[in-house]
Structure 1
């Protein structure tokens, strides 16, 4: 199967209205997922063992990679961010029956535990590195967070 055949398959699937098509042959696996606004194609091709592997990637339509959501804080703002040091799930409470670590308006100091991030069944207490007043909580309880993602806005004054 060459690139032209793959492109024709993508066009056919997009016109057919199918939401997902998987095609597996001896040396190639193709998955085409379509939506109302975008078409996503994943192609995995296995090369013979004696030849260098050269993956074939094709995309149809104007697919765009969505950037990680960023907090809109003006450059003139004096707020500081408390960010996630790890990838995991954000929790505001130490357990479901306990109160939250911090609320908006609470005054914190350096080394105050502000939340927990669970990664691979380990619950990591996240401590503030700055002192100040919690202005905004940027993440919903129980949602995934990325490394470096802002969690809280703090007014250090």
Structure 2
């Protein structure tokens, strides 16, 4: 089971993101968070169907008993056509998690890559920070960065395109 502080961090990340629903299951415990307008509702469901005490959250969200629901989060994004190339010609480097996008390793250094940069499969292109962990994201393909789709410090969703790469 997650610690109270970890749950609070998850609530904060979901609240600051544009996703409406988040589900986390681990070792028979389930945490489900849904946003309704400006209100954030969290639900915790242990495997034994016991009631859970209210956890003080950032927005003092009520705790409710969750019903079994298949987790599904869909993130729709639209990408412009870049330099007369169709979207299918370009490789998308996507975020493997919900977190904060950082273009450089520290605030006072240059970005890992920018439009026009050459990358190889194992080149680090950015960092996505989630729950105080800094995860280096690799290019996954040899090619040239055509466009950076997010800004430094921006919250990103799971599966959200971060870069468009013209493969070699």
Q: Given the superposition, is the C-alpha separation of residues 100 and 69 from structure 1 closer, same or farther in structure 2, using an over 3 Å criterion?
A: same
| Structure of higher CA gyration radius | 1
- Output the TM-score relative to the length of structure 1: 0.55
1:147 aligns with 2:142: no
CA RMSD, 1 decimal: 3.1
Partner residue in 1 for 2:78:
70
Partner residue in 1 for 2:135:
124
Q: Equivalents in 2 of 1:96, 1:119: separation in Å? A: 17
- Output the TM-score relative to the length of structure 2: 0.52
Among 98, 120, 123, which residue is 1:112 paired with? 123
Q: Is the 8 A contact 2:123 2:139 kept in 1?
A: yes
Q: Equivalents in 2 of 1:115, 1:41: separation in Å? A: 31
What's the CA shift string for 1:97-121, capped at 9, x where partnerless? 1111001001100010000000001
Q: Is the 8 A contact 2:100 2:128 kept in 1?
A: yes
Partner residue in 1 for 2:91:
80
Within 5 A, what are the aligned runs for 1:133-144? 133-144=144-155
1:77: Cα distance to partner? 3.8
Partner residue in 2 for 1:31:
none
Q: Given the superposition, is the C-alpha separation of residues 72 and 107 from structure 1 closer, same or farther in structure 2, using an over 3 Å criterion?
A: same
1:153: Cα distance to partner? 0.2
How many residues matched? 101
1:92: Cα distance to partner? 0.1
Partner residue in 2 for 1:14:
none
Q: Equivalents in 1 of 2:129, 2:117: separation in Å? A: 23
Q: Given the superposition, is the C-alpha separation of residues 98 and 68 from structure 1 closer, same or farther in structure 2, using an over 3 Å criterion?
A: same
